[in-house]
Structure 1
Amino acid sequence: MPLINYSSYNQSVSFLHKHKHISTIYAGMFKKFPTPDYKREILELQDGDFLAIDYNLKNTNKAIILCHGLEGNSQRTYMNSCATYFLQRNFSVFAWNNRSCSGEMNRLPKLYHHAAIEDLDAVIQFALTKVDEVYLIGYSMGGAQTLNYLGRTNNINERVKAAIAISVPIEVKSSVESLKKGFNKVYMKNFTNDLIPKLKYKAEQFPELLNWDKIKDIKGFDDLDDYFTAPLHGFKDREDYYFKVSPARSITNIIKPVLIINALDDPFLGEDCYPKEFAKNSTTVYLEIPKYGGHCAFPMKNVPHSYAEIRAFTFIESLSNV
């Protein structure tokens, strides 16, 4: 019965961080955590594009692969905090950047999305040339990529042991609708402001590809995904995109142990992002729903690390004891 009815985070959160926006904004804007000592390697892809992977080879036996969220990168605070926590516990760390997120624009028209599992697979294959086994940890969109990878990839390497998905939009449309409400619109505006310069760059690279004049009409994800995300990645429209890239389509096929941690107060998640009935009947997908935590936040009292990475570690450790 992998629906986890009790989360110890509910007793570990300070009064101030019981407010979803305070937690989310603190973690995203004010909390700082130094970047680990990484080596960066450029991975050339079969389609002619590339990925930048930052890694620290602490232990050739085991590693985590970290997947960042929308418009994040390998050196965001939540990534650095998680990486450091696992490095201190003798894991190697591979933190990869989705196309266009490494500080250098990618070569091809397409960018990335919630089901960009081919790129994640390339990172996994790269990591497996250096370590014996890997565990996947994905945040937000990176959590969706992780779940989609496990649910849509045939014959997954047995050295991919398990995964943790944090603050993940199980149903992308539900998440988008949530971001249209009240103060949540601020987060949507930040995302669109980050993505518009990339689209303008793509317009210069590939002027013949799309009607780039639509950039000026972008007001939110509806416009962004209808005009650009969907057509750039082969979907009919935003509704087709939202439906097909949602982990809700793939989690039923997951056979590896997975922990999903979605806070009940997450301003990025709609009600369809908490698959309780599915989890009740699953033997592999664990769902933990803390009452608090915000989005990719989960701050702890007097502890530099977040509950999410601590819980990810205990989940991985519990598997070795089975």
Structure 2
Amino acid sequence: MPDAPFQPAWWLPGPHLQTLWSPFCRRPQPLERQRERLWLEDGDFIDLDWHGPHDTQAPLVLVLHGLTGSSASHYVIGLQGRLGENGWASVAINWRGCSGEPNLLPRAYHSGASDDLGAVIEHLQRRRPLAPLHAVGYSLGGNVLLKYLGERAVDCPLRGAVAVSVPFRLDQCADRIGLGFSRVYQAHFMRAMLAYVKDKQRLFAHQGMADRLSVMEKLGPLDDVR
């Protein structure tokens, strides 16, 4: 049976209203979550936020946020809340440097970071080996998820996966976001990404990590980027 076509709410008729309604009008419910820091093999870390039943056999959903997002994004909190209401556990990933604290290496998160996703999934399998594991990825997180699925193929440990609003062709998306009203989103992303890099530069300078700071400085003068 073919999937039903998308039917937006009558009061959100266009893509821009559908995009802007959630961050400006939606009030996420407060959630009880437990934060866990996962240390990676290269010495960096990823923070995970758990919600839902502690039953080790309950279905578990890994939620992957998009570009400049985090586990605090409204769509992540909303999904975790609904999953908890239905007796499912969930864990929201914060990609490197997205949990409110700069990550420790010059490397940032990106749409091809399936190795980081793989490390998180292996960790979840060790913690809850009896839990059926699923994943939902939004935007850039969906790109990472689909790349991981393709790489693992029949050996994938996930029981199910959903990718939402994925920018399959990053080059075409980059061109499109510079046109018309979409430039509002472009400006938002640029401000957030520049703040991400500058926070990391300040950390490296403060801690005297000249080798890592020099790598970041190769990006050029960030103040000239608009």
State the TM-score, normalized to the length of structure 2.
Answer: 0.87
Structure possessing the higher relative contact order (Cα contacts under 8 Å, 6 or more residues apart):
1
Name the residue aligned to 2:207. Answer: none
Match of 1:245 in 2: none
> 2:138, 2:164 within 8 Å by CA — same for their partners in 1?
yes
SS at match of 1:129: helix
Tell me, yes or no, if the aligned pair for 2:51 and 2:80 is still in contact at 8 Å.
no
Task: Map Cα deviations across residues 66-94 of structure 1 (whole Å, 9 max, x no partner).
Answer: 00000100121100111111111111101
Runs of at least 5 residues in structure 2 that lack an aligned partner in the other structure = 205-211
The aligned residue for residue 249 of structure 1 is: none
SS of equivalent to 1:176: helix
Deviations 1:14-58 (A, max 9, x none): 322012111111112321212421110111110000010001251
- Secondary structure of the structure 1 residue equivalent to 2:133: strand
Of the three residues 25, 49, 54, the one matched with 2:44 is: 49
* 8 A contact 2:142–2:163 mirrored in 1: yes
- 1:207 corresponds in structure 2 to 213
Tell me the matched-pair count. Answer: 213
Aligned-partner Cα distance in 1 for 2:32–2:17? 30
SS of the residue 1:46 aligns to: coil
Q: Which residue of 1 aligns with 2:70?
A: 73
Q: Which amino acid aligns with 1:63?
A: L
RMSD, aligned CA? 1.9
Report the counterpart of residue 18 of structure 1 in structure 2. 13
| Distance in 1 between residues matched to 2:219 and 2:175, nearest whole Å | 25
Say whether 1:27 aligns with 2:34.
no
CA contact 2:52–2:87 (8 Å) conserved in 1: no
Where do 1:1-322 residues align within 5 Å? Answer: 4=2, 6-7=4-5, 9-10=6-7, 13-58=8-53, 59-61=55-57, 62-131=59-128, 132-153=131-152, 156-158=155-157, 160-204=158-202, 205=204, 206-209=212-215, 210-219=217-226
Are the structure 2 counterparts of residues 89 and 196 from structure 1 closer, same or farther at C-alpha, using a change threshold of 3 Å?
same
Q: CA deviation at 1:105?
A: 0.6
Q: Determine helix, strand or coil for the equivalent of 1:175.
A: helix
Scaled by the length of structure 1, the TM-score of the pair is 0.62
- Aligned partner of residue 25 in structure 1, secondary structure: helix
| 1:202 partner letter | K
Q: Residues 178 and 42 (structure 1 numbering): CA distance in 2 closer, same or farther, change over 3 Å?
A: same
Q: Which amino acid aligns with 1:200?
A: K
Q: Give the Cα separation in 1 of the matches to 2:133 and 2:76.
A: 16
Deviations 1:198-247 (A, max 9, x none): 2223334233214343313323xxxxxxxxxxxxxxxxxxxxxxxxxxxx
Q: Is the 8 A contact 1:35 1:75 kept in 2?
A: no
Which secondary structure does the structure 2 equivalent of 1:40 belong to? strand
Comparing 26-35 with 141-150, greater Cα deviation is found at: 26-35
* C-alpha distance in structure 2 between counterparts of 1:21 and 1:138, whole Å: 21
Q: Output the CA distance in 1 between the equivalents of 2:194 and 2:180.
A: 22
| Distance change in 2, residues 1:218/1:41 (3 Å) | same
Which SS does the other structure have where 1:52 is aligned?
Answer: strand
Q: Is the CA contact (8 Å cut-off) linking 2:194 and 2:222 kept in structure 1? A: yes
Question: Structure 1 134/35 Cα, relative in aligned 2: closer, same or farther at 3 Å?
Answer: farther
C-alpha separation in 1, matches of 2:34 and 2:44? 20
Measure the CA separation in 2 of the matches of 1:55 and 1:115: 24
- Partner Cα separation in structure 1 for residue 17 and residue 154 of structure 2: 42
What is the CA distance between 1:170 and its match in structure 2? 1.1
Which amino acid in structure 1 is aligned with residue 190 of structure 2? Answer: T
Matched residues in 1 for 2:72 and 2:33: separation? 10
